[in-house]
Amino acid sequence: MKRSIKALGVCLLAGAAAVTVTGCGKVNKDYDVYFFNQKSEIADSLNDLADEYEAQTGKKVKVFTVGTTEGSETMRSELKSKEYPTLFSSNAISFEEWKSAGYAAGVEEISNPELKTLYESVPDALKLQFESEGNYGIPYNIEGYGLIADRQMLEDILGVTDLNAFTADYKEADYEEFQQMIVALNDYINDGKSESFTLNGNSYETQSDKTDLTENLNGVFSIAGAEKWTYGNHFGNYPISTVYQNIYDVRESDPDKADLMKSSIVKSLQELDFLSNYAAGPDGATKRGSQFINSTVTGYDQAVQTFAEGKAVFIKNGNWIYSNVADIAPEVADRLIMLPMKLNFSDDDIHVDGLTVDQMNRSVPEFVSQYYIINKKATEQEKKDAEDFLLWLNTSETGQDYIVNKFAFVPFNADEDTTLENPLSNDLITYKRDNDLLANPFDAAPSSWGLESYGKYIMEDLFTDPDPWSEDELNDIADECISYWKSGMDEW
């Protein structure tokens, strides 16, 4: 917090000094680009970047940073001021306001041909669109999530020295093969038994002996049962993705379309019923019941620690977990891999054109938290300067170095030569390159749906129940989740 406040203070002083108003009301600016940034964690690096840009081009960039919680209100004021930002940031939901008010320039309005090509190169799943059309921004960063594992842990369990064949077969495996693998891993953990299973039709076998690494295992999955958002939000995205292609589809659809989610919601809950039977805790297996939602046992930090200490084979999480694991076990952090979450769906559950269960089972959700947007209402010269800066940031050697090494971001236009310190981020680049991507339509779900509906039922009604969850109960929960969704859409 101190770092962000300090950065904001510097920016405010810089902003005050950068603009003067003459007696006739004309604004004189001693900068060429005014960039309104809503990622406070990169504020210091952005100021350094602005200095680099000025040194290389002679163009001065004013950077103004606020946190995302107060960003919209401040930006409304700034966009209406005489010293408006010529380049600003926004997430996909808030963007609707800026586009409707005429502030967002689309790809067709970009005059720089190289930047226009960059806009057009953004994958469809990551584009900033309005009414499902066009592209109005360049992604700051790509984030994504899936099933995280320690490469060495899997190699020890399987008795292999190269995990590439396993990961390739895993990505193509179906849900039934995934279940067989989990049962085999559980038998290995509990009984030290050698068990065989197949992935993509190819046979694998757990070892009969444990290693120094695998002997610490308490279960297959580390699950943050006490944190509704970890499954209410991210796991909830999977059933949503069977019906809605992206956030724009959610926003523009009739409320009754939510009825199509019922079968996939039920099946996602059935999958959690299965997964939660193989949960690891800090001191042994964790069984469903009151302890399963006890923050001292299954809180987020504890779940990460359980995984990082080698007590669980997998944890469902995102590339952001790298720094948390590195703080606990740096050697484990460097060995992390991201696998797709296998899903208990059939093609009959999917209502998105072109999407199949096979594609979902080999893909990971990737999303963009913020976009760079050119201010359409800026003067032609201001827009040109903003375009030049945005192109330089995303294509120059210096700009790419800042994005990858100073911001620690995954650039949307990363290629096979882009390598980051975070191995999970490198995996995201591979999934994007192979077009094995799911969108994150959950981001447009009605307010608190993940926490107060889907996630709440999972935590309070299901994770506390040690018995198998009945299909009648799961159908009732799915109906309640859909009802909550529809009522939330009415409030938009």
- Lookup result for tokens 């900068």: 31
Q: What is the model's pLDDT at position 491?
A: 62
pLDDT at 427: 97
The residue to which tokens 């960063």 are assigned: 141
Token pair belonging to 238 = 């999977």
Has residue 10 got a pLDDT over 80?
no
Other CB atoms within 10 Å distance of the CB of residue 209? 10
- Model confidence pTM above 0.85: yes
Instruction: Give Cβ neighbours of residue 99 (< 8 Å, ≥ 6 apart).
Output: 130, 136
Note whether 346 and 357 are within 8 A (CB). Answer: yes
Hey, what amino acid is at 65?
Answer: T
- Predicted confidence band at 70 (pLDDT cuts at 50, 70, 90)? low
User: How far is the C-alpha of 186 from the C-alpha of 18, rounded, in Å?
Assistant: 63
> Residue 71 pLDDT > 90, yes or no?
no
Query: Structure tokens of 122?
Result: 């953004």
As given in the structure block, the two tokens for residue 307 are: 């995984």
Handedness of CA 149, 155, 156, 161 (dihedral sign): negative
The answer to whether the CB of 388 falls within 8 A of the CB of 56 is no
Would you state the pLDDT for residue 79? Answer: 96
The C-alpha atoms of residue 285 and residue 281 are separated, in whole angstroms, by: 5
Give residue 23's pLDDT: 42
The dihedral through the CA atoms of 115, 135, 11, 34 has a sign that is positive
Q: How far is CA 154 from the centre of its chain?
A: 24
Alpha-carbon dihedral sign for residues 247, 134, 492, 140: positive
For 60-114, the DSSP string reads -EEEEE--HHHHHHHHHHHHHSTT--SEEEE-TTTHHHHHHTT-BPPGGG---HH
Q: Does the pLDDT at position 363 exceed 70?
A: yes
| Structural domains for the chain | 2-141+368-413 (3.40.190.10), 144-366+437-490 (3.40.190.10)
pLDDT value of position 25: 46
Contact 192, 246 (CB under 8 A): no
pLDDT of 78-126, one tens digit each? 999 999 999 999 999 889 899 999 999 999 999 999 999 999 999 888 8
Q: What is the CA radius of gyration of the chain?
A: 24
- Residue 369 structure tokens: 């938290």
Q: What is the pLDDT of residues 179-237, one digit of tens each?
A: 999 999 999 999 988 999 999 999 999 999 999 999 999 999 999 999 999 999 999 99
